Chain A
Amino acid sequence: QSMLTQPPSVSGAPGQRVTISCTGTNSTFGAGFDVHWYQQIPGTAPKLLIYGNNNRPSGVPDRFSGSKSDTSASLAITGLQAEDEADYYCQSYDHRLSSWVFGGGTKLTVL
């Protein structure tokens, strides 16, 4: 069972904006720990998309942005493109569990 909660799927048309939510707890985001986001194209290794709540690694387009507030976080993708079709995972740290925790993943479909 995932400690972070994500919607199983989201979809959008090319050019649209979509958001993926990630709900944590008082022992993860609520305790001040950062949230990070990964993109995984099926059959390949995950790729870091957002780190430290809202920072993009070099090479990640600015169409991707992250935010965090209290016990919730979200990933926004603007100007949706076919290549964005993938699974997206949020990740944080749970100090009660003393463990990294992941969301269950959200499958993004570009219509």
Chain B
Amino acid sequence: QVLLQQWGAGLLKPSETLSLTCAFYGGSFSGYYWSWLRQPPGKGLEWIGVINQSGYTNYNPSLKSRVTISPDTSKNQFSLRLTSVTAADTAVYYCARGWKWDYVDYWGQGTLVTVSS
């Protein structure tokens, strides 16, 4: 059974760096695409970026200058780093898996990250 479990700090101050990690259980890390998405409270979904084990990366242009998604294949994990956060980055962040580059088929449980001074 496929399971994605994610964790990370839930409360940040403006200008700090958001850091989240997602662990994948129930299969091989290779051969899939690994994504982060987010959803501000009461709003719709926003894609952050996607990577795979082979070095493919694609980031949302609106976030590209602040985002890094990194794989750790030895642990079946991948991580999200978002620098210089502001209140506009307050959202539930989801990690997700896709077997193609352009959508996701399994989601993590979500992590609420609040940016407040």
Confirm or deny: A93 has a beta carbon within 8 angstroms of a beta carbon on chain B: yes
Q: Which of A33, A46, A99 is within 8 Å of B61, CB to CB? A: A99
Chain A, Cβ-Cβ closest to B101: A93
Contact A103 B60 (CB under 8 A): no
Contact B44 A99 (CB under 8 A): no
Confirm or deny: A24 has a beta carbon within 8 angstroms of a beta carbon on chain B: no
* A30 CB to nearest chain B CB (Å): 16
With A34-B102, A99-B61 as given contacts, are A45 and B47 in contact (CB-CB < 8 Å)? no
Confirm or deny: A48 has a beta carbon within 8 angstroms of a beta carbon on chain B: yes
Question: With A and B bound together, what is the CA distance between A34 and B98 in angstroms?
Answer: 14
* A5 CB to nearest chain B CB (Å): 12
B66-112, CB < 8 A from A: 94, 100, 102-110
A binding-site residues for B, Cβ under 8 Å? 2, 33-34, 36, 38, 45-48, 51, 57, 89, 91-93, 97-105
